[in-house]
Amino acid sequence: MKAIELFAGAGGLGMGISRAGFKPQAIVEWDRWCCDTIRENRGAGIGLVGDWPEPIEGDVRNVDFGPFEGHLDLVTGGPPCQPFSLGGKHGAHADSRDMWSEAVRAVREAKPRAFIFENVKGLTRQSFATYLSYIVMQLTYPELMADDDESWESHLCRLEMHHTGRRGPAGLEYRVVYRVLNAANYGIPQRRERVVFVGFRKDLGIEWAFPKETHSLDALIWDQAKGEYWERHEVRNRDRIIAHRHSQRLRQLRERPRESPWRTTRDAIGNLPDPELEPEKSRKYHNHRFQPGARSYYGHTGSPLDEPAKTLKAGVHGVPGGENMLLRADRSVRYFTVRESARLQTFPDEFRFHGSWTETMRQLGNAVPVELANIVARDVKRHLLFGGSDFLK
């Protein structure tokens, strides 16, 4: 099945899409460091990226998607999210970095059977509620374009009138759903929340819902209190710490939860040598080097080993790397290495990142966990192949 990837970044979403069985026909990304990362792994034939086409390095606004019409099963991407980020200025539609219009244009011109777009959770803030509706309406009716002198508010009203009254031909139409997904609930060792949009072309008649969550905090609490978590990791009794805030929740658990336990930072990186204490052993792993300068202060306390990591940040606000620190059992902190961060984002170990530590952490902090993308894309593929039949339930 064929796909194109927009706003590719370091390739987390695209790799998940490829892992699900889609073959990218084009990769578009404006940032040269990200393109260098993709090219380096592509040239080395590493993993799923080895089969990717040469990335189109440049402004997506200059790319013509018309030649892809009738040839694509999927369009994916993460339109730049700074306008909606909790750390940004919240400019939304007034921000020149808002590329949602280009995502809609790609759908309009290529007419894929489905699309998957993602963005930061901040897009679902109450202050952006109306603009979120505008995004969904545009994705639903991508051919109903705004006039040159039409404001986005007026365009939204026209889209809503069309949606409720269907005045004129419907044209190209998609059935669109969106949901905020917590990556930890799908087995990713990081509490990372992203809003994901999925749409299927209406003529396909596909019924779809997001995949069910498979992992839970309750299951982790149970595994640490009554299961084999500590023995599995060979942790000494004095280092076995269950967060005090979970004690009441533990008392309420009467039986083992059906879900799998949340995956923890220790699950993800526990078998890697500590780059500060074992630098020689650490050199055997790509991008696994100690980065000095980490310090803990209010709001930046690091990620405990025995919980999923806190959300990796892109490192453009505050201290380099922001919250991207490991909190050891002795309460000391150090920055995650690039390799450790890549594992928290479920990139394969052979995948190499191009650029300085700050630059690669920016790439990782903006990335979609590879496995989360795979889970969503795999389910989309099943429905494209088999429709919404009971065979998939």
Q: Which amino acids are annotated catalytic?
A: 81
DSSP, collapsed to helix, strand or coil, labels residue 338 as helix
Helix runs in 298-356, H state only? 338-344
| Cβ-Cβ contacts under 8 Å for 265 (sequence gap 6 or more) | 189, 303, 304, 305, 306, 307, 308, 309, 326, 344
> Can you spell out the DSSP letters for 54-119?
PPEES-GGG---GGGTTS-SEEEE----GGG-TTS---GGGSTT--HHHHHHHHHHH--SEEEEEE
Question: How distant, in Å, are the alpha carbons of 81, 134, 138, 312 from that of 131?
Answer: 14, 5, 10, 26
At 209, the amino acid letter reads A
- Do the strands 74-77 and 114-120 form a parallel or antiparallel pair, or are they unpaired? parallel
Q: Which two tokens stand for residue 328?
A: 């050891």
157 Cβ neighbours under 8 A, 6+ residues apart: none
The sheet carrying 2-6 orders its strands as 56-57, 23-29, 2-6, 74-77, 114-120, 193-201, 174-182
CA torsion angle for 17, 58, 36, 375 (degrees, to 10)?
Answer: -10
CA distance 52 to 45: 9
275-295 in b/e burial notation, b at 16+ Cβ within 10 A?
bbeeeeebeebbbbebbeebe
The DSSP secondary structure of 237-294, one letter per residue, reads GGG----GGGHHHHHH--S--SSEEPPPHHHHHTTSPPTTT-HHHHTTSTT-------
List 3's β-bridge partners, or say none: 24, 74
Are 27 and 58 in contact, with CB atoms under 8 Å apart? no
The terminus-to-terminus CA distance of the chain in angstroms comes to 22
Q: What is the DSSP letter of 320?
A: T
